[in-house]
Amino acid sequence: QPTFVVYYGFGFFGSFLSSLMSNSAAVALMLPITLPMAEMMQMSPESVAMLAPMTTSFIMLVIGCPPTIIAYSAGYFSQMQFMKIAIPWCLALLLICTLSVMVYWPLIGFVK
């Protein structure tokens, strides 16, 4: 299995969920699904557990975070303008997190 795609998919799943609900609720919903999947695929559950809170912090939609809603309410940008910036930024951050899981974390001894 392509490990990169699985980690990225888990991250995207968490980021998408947190755009629709609170970050805490997204992690609470995500981990019972992704941790057993990681174990079945012989991937590091530690990495998946650490990746979940990181990726649920990325914001793709205005409704994803109260500070974003406050800034949006000032009226200086539209939801579409926000999404044009936030979605590519979120995907780039997911890429950085996924590469960190696969390259950096083993170097510092977090995962085997």
What's the pLDDT score for residue 1?
Answer: 62
**Dihedral (CA of 6, 1, 43, 47) sign:** negative
Question: Measured between alpha carbons, how far apart are the two ends of the chain, in Å?
Answer: 18
- Give the tens place of pLDDT for each residue, 12-45: 999 999 888 888 899 999 999 999 999 999 998 9
Q: What percent of the chain has pLDDT over 70?
A: 98
Joined together, the tokens standing for residue 23 give 């970050």
The DSSP H or E segment spanning 24 is helix 23-40
What integer pLDDT is reported at residue 36 of this predicted model?
A: 95
Digit-coded pLDDT (tens) for 40-60? 999 989 999 999 999 988 888
Taking the C-alpha atoms of residue 37 and residue 5, their distance in angstroms, rounded to an integer, is: 13
Question: What's residue 66's pLDDT?
Answer: 84
pLDDT for residue 59? 81
DSSP 102: I
Q: For all residues of the chain together, what is the average pLDDT?
A: 90
Nearest to 13 by CA among 3, 24, 27: 27
Answer whether 0.85 is exceeded by the pTM. Answer: no
